[in-house]
Amino acid sequence: MADDTKNRTRAEENDEIRRLLKAELDGIAARLQRGGEARGTGVDGGNFLDVAQGLERQEQENLISSRLMGQARRLQVALERVNDGDYGVCSECGATIPHRRRLAVPDATTCVACQDRLEHSGAGVRSATNRETDG
Ligand SMILES: [Zn+2]
């Protein structure tokens, strides 16, 4: 009984991860919404510099929101993996992803070694930008 905190069940761990992922997703949704609201203003009227600055800001916001959307998609995938019971297992080599890494990078679907390998070969980046075509 006293060991409850050490010996947590998988369900409890999944609950924690699910909360973590949902909190991240909520944060991203809120940021995207704020960005969308800010975008409608500031570009019309004014002098050329104002317009140019407004456009520049828009471009930056687009960049940020596309990055946020990519992250949201990864979080969604991680959430699905939690529900499927696949979460915490490396999608490349099948090894268990350490709990610490899962807390630090909740949307990680690979272990550190595989992540490293993918980043160096560039395959992970390419397949990650391979939008909506899988399925
Ligand atoms: Zn791996």
Q: Would you state the pLDDT for residue 40? A: 54
110 alpha carbon – ligand 1 mean position (Å): 5
109 alpha carbon – ligand 1 mean position (Å): 9
90 alpha carbon – ligand 1 mean position (Å): 5
Q: Would you state the pLDDT for residue 30? A: 92
Q: Would you state the pLDDT for residue 16? A: 86
User: Is residue 65 classed as helix, strand or coil in its secondary structure?
Assistant: helix
In terms of CATH, what superfamily is 10-128? DksA, coiled-coil domain (1.20.120.910)
72 alpha carbon – ligand 1 mean position (Å): 22
111 alpha carbon – ligand 1 mean position (Å): 4
81 alpha carbon – ligand 1 mean position (Å): 15
Q: Would you state the pLDDT for residue 68? A: 94
Of how many residues is the chain composed? 135
106 alpha carbon – ligand 1 mean position (Å): 15
How is the chain split into domains, by residue range? 10-128
Print pLDDT tens along the chain (135 aa): 545 555 678 888 888 889 999 999 999 999 888 876 765 555 556 788 888 888 998 899 899 989 999 999 999 999 999 998 888 899 999 999 998 898 888 888 899 999 999 999 865 444 444 444 444
Closest by CA position to 65, among listed 102, 96, 34, 100: 34
- Tokens describing residue 28: 């991203």
Q: Measured between alpha carbons, how far is 46 from 119 in angstroms, rounded to an integer?
A: 45
Q: Would you state the pLDDT for residue 24? A: 93
85 alpha carbon – ligand 1 mean position (Å): 17
